[in-house]
Amino acid sequence: MQRYDLLVKGGRLVVPYHGEVHADLGIAAGRITAVAEDIPARQAAEVLDARGKAVLPGAVDAHFHIGIYRDMGLDAYEETRSSLVGGATTVLSYFRTGQHYLEKTGPYKEIFPEVLDAVAGRSFADYGFHLAPMTVEQVEEIPALVAEHGVTSFKYYMFYKGFDLAANSRDARAFTMGDEYDLGHLFLIMEKIAEVQTAHPGKRLSLSLHCEQSELMRVFIDRVQRSGKPQNLRAYSEGRPPLTEQVAIAEAAALAAHTGVDINFLHLSSAEALDKATASRTPGSRLETTLHHLCLDHDDLDARGGLGAKVNPPIRTRAHNEALWAGVADGRVDWVASDHACCMEEHKGDELWPARPGFGGTALLYPVLFSEGHLRRGIPLTRIAEAASANPARAYNLWGRKGSLAVGFDADLTVVDPAAAREVTAEMLLSGQDHCPFEGVRLTGWPVATVVGGRVAFRDGEVLGEPGGSYLRRI
């Protein structure tokens, strides 16, 4: 008789690219080892009752920021704890040198081991990193980062190009602590990734892009600041309008087409950005949007007051929300992420331009997609699982381990109660952050259990045990 460490029994399994099936999951040694109509409970050391509930593959939150504003170890602990609430079992965090994070620059051969040491043993979810080459020296380190650390995704921030918005200066070097950070630097990164790609034909090496055009932003921000209008979240959107996304996407797409590198258009915030990225896409490009760009409206937030929802790119309007939901539904948007960046209310303040951008949201990944995507807009759960889990797993070389409920995959999953309706509060998200832009929003469809590597790590609103997440080499 086959024995299992954990049996997930009686649930409706949501299998990406296939459909839904009522079946049991048998788990042993951290992997899914059986999918069957009826596995006797006596064959398992532990049984997780999933009757009347949906079982989805653990979300791969592919846009995360561990330690951007706080100690990396503390952030890893508290914010991946929050991930379990939303059914996310893997996080892929961005890291760069310069201001914030570790507040320094230098070669990644020295800095990245420090990052890994800070996070080791502190993450409740499995984790990996996307790295941003901010200097020419770091560009040359890309082959070693791929070979030695299994890093297969990198990043370029187009809005840092030539203008430090935080300091209202044309010199971005004080912020990036780097070299000339322009389109030439972007081209060098793309060339190097394309070169290294040839040595790894079975893996997808990619460059993720924050697409906002800085020279245009300088003009629009100056106009908004001189306008006499309230300096609120609406003003922030007007200072960084969709046109800046469109132009940056076009610039990046032209360079990517020339170099042949695979690119990921991150956190698309507007209908115009989605249209431009869709028109510019090649077989190697992928599109991402976020929970807040799908759901939040700057006028609603301004009516509540405060700057907690300041983020880059800015929150837009309901019309942009719906355009992005349509992209999720029809597959133009490949995945949805949280862009989680724990930022305390004290760092938002009451002045728009100095306020730090970003906020947490990982705890809402499946609740928002289930409630707003599936229940409200009729997006099939299979498509929800693809957008939250399977597609980012495939894009970032985790497929085969993450992203599905198939035999042989890691036993990462979440059990969602489709009838559970709750109003969002900051406290219920189990994050270190003391506020939440989604506060007061009522969502239906919450995880009641989250399993990481075959172990129940979250159940009925509580985290169980200590962090057990592992670093993910992706090559």
Q: What is the pLDDT of residues 49-62, one digit of tens each?
A: 999 999 999 999 99
Task: Report which DSSP code applies to 77.
Answer: H
Could you tell me the residue ranges of all domains in the chain? 6-52, 58-399+420-443
Q: How far apart are CA 131 and CA 29, in angstroms?
A: 31
Mean pLDDT on 276-304: 97
The CA–CA distances, whole Å, from 263 to 153, 204, 284, 359 equal 9, 10, 7, 25
pTM over 0.85: yes
- Architecture, CATH, for domain 6-52: Roll (2.30)
Is cis: bond before 313, omega within 30 of 0? yes
460 contacts: CB under 8 Å, gap ≥ 6 = 448, 449
The CA–CA distances, whole Å, from 240 to 63, 234, 277, 306, 312 equal 21, 10, 17, 19, 9
pLDDT at 162 over 90: no
How do residues 99-118 score in pLDDT, each as one tens digit?
Answer: 999 999 999 999 999 999 99
Q: Which residues pair with 264 in a beta bridge?
A: 208, 286
Whether the CA torsion 278, 282, 283, 289 is positive or negative: it is negative
CB 159 within 8 A of CB 312: yes
What homologous superfamily does CATH list for 58-399+420-443?
Answer: Metal-dependent hydrolases (3.20.20.140)
Mean pLDDT on 160-181: 60
- Proportion of the chain above pLDDT 90, given as a percent: 95
Helix/strand/coil for 55? strand
pLDDT at 461 over 80: yes
Mean pLDDT on 120-140: 98
